[in-house]
Amino acid sequence: MNVGAVALPMAFVGIGTVTGTYIGGPVANRKDRMPLIAALAVAGGTASLLLLTIDVPLWAAVAIATGAIALLSVGFPVLLTFSTEVSGQSRATGVGLLGSSNQSGGVGGAAMGGVLLAASGFPGVGYLCLGTVAFAALVIVLFMRQPRP
């Protein structure tokens, strides 16, 4: 596949990101938002693992990737809302910390993914995705409490 042919499949995956983030807005207002995003993150990680461990045609891979990123993207607006609620007077610091950790995770995840890809192939990256979201789901469920009104 040449570089130009990759644009359309990547656009669909981008649509999944936008859709998941959009859905995250109403989810942020729900009482059960933390367990819900934990479950969605595990589902997205499982879809990522599936994508990277089985051999599927191009458009099936695009569909799985779009669904996975949509599921994983729901959590960002929810966590942004949560960080502003628990930050009190330091809302900008809370939001800045979330953005900083997001960007650091992008760099660290890319580095770990590159090492795993070289060492164990795509299944290793899939297990990294699933392990990361499983750990995040555990932290959300066990340590992130809902703010009191």
Does residue 117 or residue 22 have the better pLDDT? 22
Give the integer Cα–Cα distance in Å for 99 and 145: 20
pLDDT of 28 higher than 70: yes
Confidence of residue 15 (pLDDT cuts 50, 70, 90): very high
Confidence of residue 24 (pLDDT cuts 50, 70, 90): very high
The amino acid present at 4, given as its one-letter code, is G
Give the integer Cα–Cα distance in Å for 47 and 76: 18
Dump pLDDT digits (tens) for 76-125. Answer: 888 888 888 877 787 788 788 878 887 888 888 788 778 888 888 888 87
Give the integer Cα–Cα distance in Å for 95 and 139: 19
Give the integer Cα–Cα distance in Å for 132 and 52: 15
Residue of 109, 8, 42 whose CA lies nearest to 50? 42
> What are the domain boundaries of the chain?
3-143
Mean pLDDT of 120-134: 83
Asked if 15 and 67 touch (Cβ cutoff 8 Å), the reply is no
